[in-house]
Every structure is written in structure tokens, then in C-alpha cells.
């Protein structure tokens, strides 16, 4: 096996590892409200979400094309140098995903990936290596503007939807309404899962395709290989099936006390916005859309409580995601470039494994799982439930 092929394999494996973290990091986007209201049992919810993420990954490749062509100026870099950038960026995205998962913060996996790639590109090529603006393409149009607008639009639509739901059902039998909307949540949560697979799995497809272009195994004009689509679909579905319980708890219990009508309104809003963005090739942050929808469902329900300090921590994580993931991506590129050759890639890959293991070990101090994910929110300062030492659930807290 040649050194170049070994590097390509490491990059592809790292991309699939990111896809896996995307899955368990973003399970909450689809299922947090359904779990919180009791519409679905926790374990059934994440398994259903995983299956629909798998199906959704095959529905479109428009977002994958955007990722592959819309961030790095391919006219400025190619070959091994591009592989190094892609690898360093992926490491930055994975570590930010794991760090925010540890804190129970629903930050954007998409922006973690883009931030890592952007940071590594700047470190390698300078600011000119990034496509900042290019009409309807570039970082500004494809990432920054959607990031600013999507949670606001989602919050407004969900607020109106929740208000209408409570207005229409006013005076109806509460038990009948609750039962009906719980069934509605199963359908709307399934749509969000399908949309998440359609939107998010494609981002990793685009990154792997970018690596293939760098290696010379593909051209930018080539269709996306089937093995890339299948492997990314399986990776994100596997991560989703394990369940990211820490973030599910924050979205389901920490931001708003959710009732079934609210959950239905929030999930329906999220599915509509995410599927629309996938159709137009916008790599939207499903996390920000869903969080905005849940916030809106609280604002639209008369007498509902919104925990603004929890929202403040979420927004802080959103603001920091691009720069801090970019900083890690740039640092990783500097390390592998300083060591040089295949050895540099191997060293950074080993550091990634060690860092991931340490974060996972630290998470065990305040375990969150399918048994305690719906425990009462005990305070604003910690998203984690009390440790449960006798947990027999296989999953990622």
C-alpha cells in the first residue's frame, strides 16, 4: 500500500467517524421532543430515527455538491496538500462535536465541520484559500446567512403554529388532544429524522468526495460514487441509533417544558425548513433549526416557561463553533505540517483517538441514558442528570 493511499484511507475513516459523531450528536434534533412528551419510548425513538436517517441519506446529493465545491478554492490547492487540509478540518469538527456533547450543548455539527475545514485552509493557504463570497455560493451565502436566519425563521413559524394549535383545540378534551398530538409527533419526528439524513449525511459525502478529488481518484465533474453514499448513510444511522442522551435531555427538558401540541408544531416546522433547504442545496444546521422551533413552541404556548439562560449557553456555543473548530483545525494542520509526511497524519490521528477517549471517560461521571433522560430538570447550570451507576443501556450519553 502506497503512502498516498494510506493517507486517503485515514481521511475517509476520519470522515466517517465525523459522520458517526454527527449522528449521535444530532439525534436530539429529531427525537428530543417526542421523548420528552412520552410520545415515543427513548430507545424506540433513537432506533426509529436511525433507520430514517439511513433512508434520508439516499434521497438527494445537492448538499454534497455544495460542500465539495463551496468552501475551499480548488484552484489554489490539490493533491496531498488538499488531503492534509481535509483531514485537519475533520479532526477539528469531531473534537468540537465531542466537547459540546460532553457539555450537553446542541451546537451545530455542520458548522463544526465547516469551521474545521476553514481553519485548516487558512492555516495552509491564507485567507484567499477560502471561498468567502461568490454570488449564491461561498461561506457567506451558504453558511453564515442561513445560520443567522434559520433559527429566527424557525422560531417564528413554530410560535405561530403552537399558538394556532392551542387556539383551535381550546375547550377540547385534554386527554383526547394529548393522545392525538402524541401520534402526530411520531409522524413529524419521523419527518425530521428523514430530513436530517437527507441534509447532514451529504456533508460527509461531500468531504469524502473532496478527498477523492485531492487523491486523483475522482474529478469534480464526476457523479458521487455509490460506496460514498452508502458508507455515509450507514455511519450517520449507526451514530443516531446509539442516542446522544446528554443533548436529548437539554433540548427535551432544559429549554422549554414541552407538551405534545408544542412538540408537534416544533417538529413539523423543523422538517419543513430542513427538507426545503436540502432541496435547494443549502447545508443548513439542523440543530439551529430545531432549537429555534422548540423555542418558538414555548413562546407560542400561553403560560409556557422558556429557560433563557439555557438558550444563552446554546447561542454562545453557536457563535463559538466556527472559530473554535477552525482553531483546532488550524492547529492540527500545523502539527501534521510540522512533522511532515505520513507520520504527521498518523500523529494527529493518534491524538484524536486519545482526546476522544478522554472525553468519553469524563462523560461517565455524570451519565445520561435512556433511563434518566426525562428526569426533572434540576437546575440551569448542568444539563446532565444525576449519575446512574446501574445503567444497562448501550448508548452514548
Each residue's pLDDT tens digit in the chain (397 positions)? Answer: 678 888 899 999 999 999 999 988 888 888 888 888 888 899 999 999 999 989 988 877 666 666 656 677 766 777 888 889 989 999 999 999 999 999 988 888 888 988 999 999 999 989 888 888 766 667 887 788 888 888 898 999 999 988 888 888 887 887 888 888 888 888 888 888 887 887 778 888 888 988 888 888 888 778 888 999 999 999 999 999 887 888 988 888 888 888 888 888 888 888 888 777 766 766 677 888 888 998 898 888 877 778 888 888 888 998 999 999 999 999 999 999 899 888 999 999 999 999 999 999 998 888 888 888 888 776 654 444 444 433 334 445 5
User: DSSP assignment, residue 217?
Assistant: S
- Residue 396 located in a structural domain: no
Q: What's the pLDDT at 387? A: 40
Q: What's the pLDDT at 397? A: 57
DSSP-assigned beta bridge partners for residue 137: 134
Q: Dihedrals φ, ψ of 69, to 5°?
A: -115, -10
- Residue 177 located in a structural domain: yes
Q: What's the pLDDT at 325? A: 95
* Domains held by the chain: number: 1
Whether the Cβ atoms of residue 154 and residue 78 lie closer than 8 Å to each other: no
Distance CA 226, CA 242 (A): 25
Interacting residues of 130 by C-beta distance below 8 A, sequence separation 6+: 71, 72, 73, 118, 121, 122, 139
Whether the Cβ atoms of residue 163 and residue 19 lie closer than 8 Å to each other: no
- Residue 152 located in a structural domain: yes
- Residue 384 located in a structural domain: no
- Residue 221 located in a structural domain: yes
Residue 136's Cβ-count burial label (10 Å; 0-12, 13-18, 19+) is exposed
Residue 337's Cβ-count burial label (10 Å; 0-12, 13-18, 19+) is middle
- Residue 381 located in a structural domain: no
Distance CA 172, CA 263 (A): 18
Q: What's the pLDDT at 67? A: 65
Instruction: Write down the pTM of the prediction.
Output: 0.86
Distance CA 144, CA 129 (A): 17
Q: What's the pLDDT at 114? A: 87
- Residue 87 located in a structural domain: yes
- Residue 374 located in a structural domain: no
Residue 98 lies in domain: 3-366
Q: Which among 188, 195, 203, 193 has a CA at the least distance from the CA of 279?
A: 195
Q: What's the pLDDT at 339? A: 92
Amino acid at each position: 500500500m502506497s503512502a498516498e493511499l494510506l493517507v486517503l484511507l485515514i481521511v475517509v475513516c476520519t470522515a466517517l467517524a465525523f459522520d458517526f459523531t454527527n449522528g449521535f450528536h444530532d439525534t436530539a434534533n429529531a427525537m428530543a421532543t417526542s421523548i420528552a412528551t412520552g410520545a415515543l419510548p427513548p430507545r424506540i425513538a433513537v432506533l426509529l430515527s436511525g433507520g430514517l436517517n439511513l433512508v434520508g441519506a439516499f434521497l438527494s446529493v445537492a448538499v454534497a455538491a455544495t460542500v465539495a465545491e463551496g468552501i475551499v478554492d480548488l484552484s489554489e490547492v490539490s493533491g496531498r496538500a488538499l488531503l492534509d487540509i481535509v483531514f485537519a478540518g475533520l479532526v477539528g469538527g469531531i473534537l468540537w462535536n465531542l466537547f459540546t456533547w460532553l457539555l450537553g450543548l446542541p451546537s451545530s455539527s455542520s458548522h463544526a465541520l465547516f469551521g474545521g475545514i476553514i481553519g485548516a485552509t487558512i492555516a495552509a493557504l491564507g485567507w484567499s484559500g477560502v471561498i468567502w463570497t461568490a454570488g449564491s455560493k461561498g461561506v457567506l451565502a451558504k453558511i453564515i446567512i442561513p445560520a443567522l436566519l434559520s433559527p429566527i425563521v424557525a422560531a417564528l413559524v413554530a410560535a405561530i403554529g403552537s399558538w394556532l394549535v392551542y387556539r383551535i383545540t381550546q375547550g377540547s378534551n385534554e386527554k383526547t388532544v394529548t393522545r392525538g398530538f402524541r401520534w402526530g409527533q411520531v409522524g413529524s419526528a419521523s419527518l425530521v429524522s428523514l430530513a436530517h439524513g437527507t441534509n447532514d449525511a451529504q456533508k460527509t459525502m461531500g468531504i469524502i468526495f473532496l478527498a477523492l478529488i485531492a487523491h486523483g481518484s475522482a474529478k469534480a465533474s464526476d457523479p458521487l460514487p455509490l460506496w460514498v453514499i452508502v458508507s455515509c448513510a450507514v455511519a450517520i444511522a449507526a451514530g443516531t441509533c446509539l442516542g446522544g442522551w446528554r443533548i436529548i435531555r437539554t433540548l427535551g427538558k432544559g429549554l422549554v417544558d414541552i407538551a405534545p401540541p408544542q412538540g408537534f408544531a416544533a417538529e413539523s416546522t423543523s422538517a419543513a425548513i430542513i427538507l426545503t433547504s436540502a432541496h435547494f442545496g443549502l447545508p443548513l444546521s439542523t440543530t439551529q433549526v430545531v432549537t429555534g422551533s422548540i423555542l418558538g413552541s414555548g413562546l407560542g404556548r400561553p403560560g409556557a416557561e422558556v429557560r433563557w439562560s439555557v438558550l444563552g449557553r446554546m447561542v454562545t456555543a453557536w457563535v463559538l463553533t466556527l472559530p473554535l473548530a477552525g482553531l483546532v483545525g488550524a492547529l492540527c494542520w500545523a502539527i501534521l505540517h510540522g512533522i511532515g509526511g505520513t507520520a504527521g497524519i498518523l500523529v494527529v490521528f493518534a491524538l484524536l483517538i486519545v482526546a476522544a477517549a478522554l472525553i468519553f471517560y469524563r462523560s461517565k461521571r455524570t451519565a445520561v441514558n435512556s433511563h434518566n433522560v426525562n428526569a426533572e430538570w434540576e437546575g440551569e447550570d448542568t444539563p446532565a442528570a444525576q449519575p446512574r451507576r446501574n445503567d444497562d443501556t448501550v448508548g452514548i450519553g
